[in-house]
Structure formats: C-alpha cells, structure tokens
Amino acid sequence: MKSKIRVVVRVRPQLPAEKTHSCETLQLGNHTVRLGVTDSSQKEFRFDHVLGPSATQKEVYDTAGVAQSIASVLEGYHATLFAYGQTGSGKTYTMEGFEYERIASKASERASTKAKIDVASDRLGIVPRVILELFDALKTAAVIKNKAYRVKSSFVQIYNEQILDLFNPSSKQSVRSRRCDSAFLTNERGRFRCLKLRWAADQEFFVEDLTMVDSASGEEMLLKFTEGVKDKIMATTNMNAASSRSHCIYTIYVESIDLENPSLVTTTKLCLVDLAGSERIVKTGATGVTLQESIGINKSLFVLRQVIQVLSDEANMNPTGQNAVAKTHVPYRDSKLTSLLKHSLGGNSITVMIVCLSPSDLCYEENLSTLQYAARAQQISNTPVKNAGEAHKVLVQQLRDTIQSLHAQLAEVHTVVDRRRAD
C-alpha cells in the first residue's frame, strides 16, 4: 500500500523578545497557512492540519495522530514522527516538553543549558506521551492478540556528522582537554565514543554497537529517556536560549511473540526525531565552536532537503505510483541523518512530519523555506510493509544481544584502564 507523509503545522506563541515586532505575515486556517502581507504577495500552503499558538501539547499529540502511529507499530508496521523547522521554532518543546535553564559559564566558555526534567504533565511532549501510552496499549494488545511483548529503545545524537550514543554511560567520561580523534569526540560536556554507520541488506543503514535498553514499564523507559536527554549537546544563541546542537533520534523497538508459536518474533520500530534547526549565522551570532556546529547542522539539513526534493520530484513525475522513474538517485548516503531516515522518507515507514514555525515577521524568509519543503514532503509516498515474524530472527537477535553485552563490558574495562593511566 502507498502512504503519503502526513504534515501537521504548529505555530508557537510569541517570545518576550518578539513582542516589540509585528506578527502579520502568517494567517492560519484549519488546513492552510498563508504567508505574506498583501493579497498579491501572499503564498498559500495546504496541509493535513494547522495548529495555532494556543494549541496545547495534548492537542498536538492528538492532531498528529500519534496514537494511530502506536497502533500501526503494534500491527507490525514501522512508523516515524519528526519535527522540522528553523532554530527556536519549538521543535524540542513539541517533542520533549522539558524546560531548559542556562548554565553559568566562565568567560572562556560559551553559554549552555541543561534540561529540567520535572515538568507538569500537561507540558509533556510527544516522546514522553508515546512512552506512557505505548505500555497501556501493549497491555490491551497482549490480551486481545494472545501475544507477549518485549520493548527496547535506543537514543543517538548526530553531532557534526558523528553518531553519539546517549544511552551508553561507558562511552562518555569527563575530561578537561579538548581534542578529537576517529573514535572519540570531546567537548565541554565530556568525551563521547563515536559510533559507526553500517549497511546490511536486512537492516539497511544501522548503527554498530548501539546500546539497546530493555524496559518493563513506561516509567522505567521514561526515566532512561530523561537520562539521555541530560547528555544532549546544547548551547545558547541569539535566536534560541536552548539550542540543540545535534539531531536526536529516539527509537522504540517492539518485539511481539505469538504465544501459540513462540518461535515467531516480529520486530517493529517507532522513530521519534528532533531535528536541529536551520540557522542563519548572521542572526544567531554564532562564533567558534557554535559556528562550526551551525555549519554542520546546515549541511545535514541541506542534504535532507535534497532528499525531500528528489523524492517529491519523482512523485510529481509519477503521480500514480506505477512504473517508477528508473534509477533516480536519492542522496541518502550524503549525510548520517538521511541515511538513518531512509526508511522514513520514501521507504517502508508510516511517517508524520510536524512543521514548527515562528509567528514573528522577522522570520518570514525562514518560515517560507520551511513551508516550501513541508509542501514538498507531503507529496512523498512511502510504501509501508507489514513485518512478518521469522523464526530464525530469534537466534540472530540473541547472538546480537550477546555481542552487544560483550562490547559494553569491554568498553567499561577500557574506561577503568584509562582512569588508572590518568591517575
């Protein structure tokens, strides 16, 4: 079956600093966004849903059909939800809902932020809500479908084209020096082990040695997620007091076991993606490390837009979905981000895109660019395929789990050895 990418637009409220400027260029309908001041200059875009500044976190969750995405995963399909927009447009708030506070910095260091996890339940974003709702859905499905479920998760950030594991405590150790090599990346937050991107026919692109964490309850999984959030690389810029300096991909894996035939295991995944925002360096005032991060973010988003453009052009050339254009090159491999999102864009995932906009007229050009690519994205057709249970995958997964455990133990040994050498 064919499934087009669903697009939901969210416009955040004005920030205090924006209230001295006008907010006249955005006009919202239930399914339309008009951008421009005069009728002759206005550009109109049509999407699945459009939500204004008064929308609550729950309204965004419900309107985006996140519950349906969870249901699809339990039915055997992969699903993806990703937030896209310029820096400071509300993507991280939409996905997490946590507050971020500024960290006092020395004169020689840049200003940064840290997450405040303890927030009111109505502020919780999509990821915490998914985690808690998923386990409720699993309890019901286990009875109705006579199945047992195992839930795992992984959490990575893509920082300057390096894949960093936010779940592996042995991959990060605090050091004072600032250096980088092929295996590690060091910044003011610590020393992170860089993971490798691999390709396999049965998995497509995957991250080698990625930590998978089992969870028996929503509370347990949410606690682990919040621990990972605290290690995200953040900074303060002129455009965003709590700016993500990396793309974050949180993936939930659901293994379903048919109790009438326990050797059959079906594995599906739900990818929840908080993209770093596109940045105009003149506006952000980025310098030094922050400038290099901005360049890295913009490069990877440029590739993402290229992928969206190629796929939407292909869809326009072949609107019926029949006789696909031969050998169209889609540049997935040009960035780590698009490699890992290959199944979400033109692949076998049911995908929802949440487009975040600023209401300020100062962001007219950024809003226009965001809306143009969102309009292209909704032309893309994916081909979701129901994953079938396979008996041999049980043994394969057991072997992979064993290898992963051994790698983790080895990393811990290396950490102890490094510390003793440092002493």
Binding residues, by number, are 85-92
To which residue do tokens 């195992």 refer? 150
CA–CA distance from 226 to each of 167, 222, 258 (Å)?
10, 6, 32
Q: Residue 127 in contact with residue 250, Cβ under 8 Å?
A: yes
Q: Which residues are annotated as a binding site for ATP?
A: 85-92
CA angle 298, 307, 82 (to 5 degrees): 70
Q: How far apart are CA 250 and CA 155, in angstroms?
A: 5
Tell the burial category of 76 from Cβ atoms under 10 Å away from its Cβ (0-12, 13-18, 19+).
middle
Phi/psi for 78 (5° steps) reads -85, 150
- Structure tokens of 165? 């594991």
Q: Residue 370: how many CA atoms within 13 Å on its side-chain side?
A: 33
Residue 392, C-beta contacts closer than 8 angstroms, at least 6 positions apart: none
Residue 362, C-beta contacts closer than 8 angstroms, at least 6 positions apart: 18, 21
Closest to 79 (Cα-Cα) out of 159, 5, 177: 5
CA angle 341, 157, 50 (to 5 degrees): 60
Please give the span between the terminal C-alpha atoms of the chain, in angstroms, as a whole number: 60
To which residue do tokens 């405040």 refer? 116
Closest to 257 (Cα-Cα) out of 151, 149, 152: 149
DSSP at 180: B
- Helices 66-74/126-145 angle, 10° precision: 40
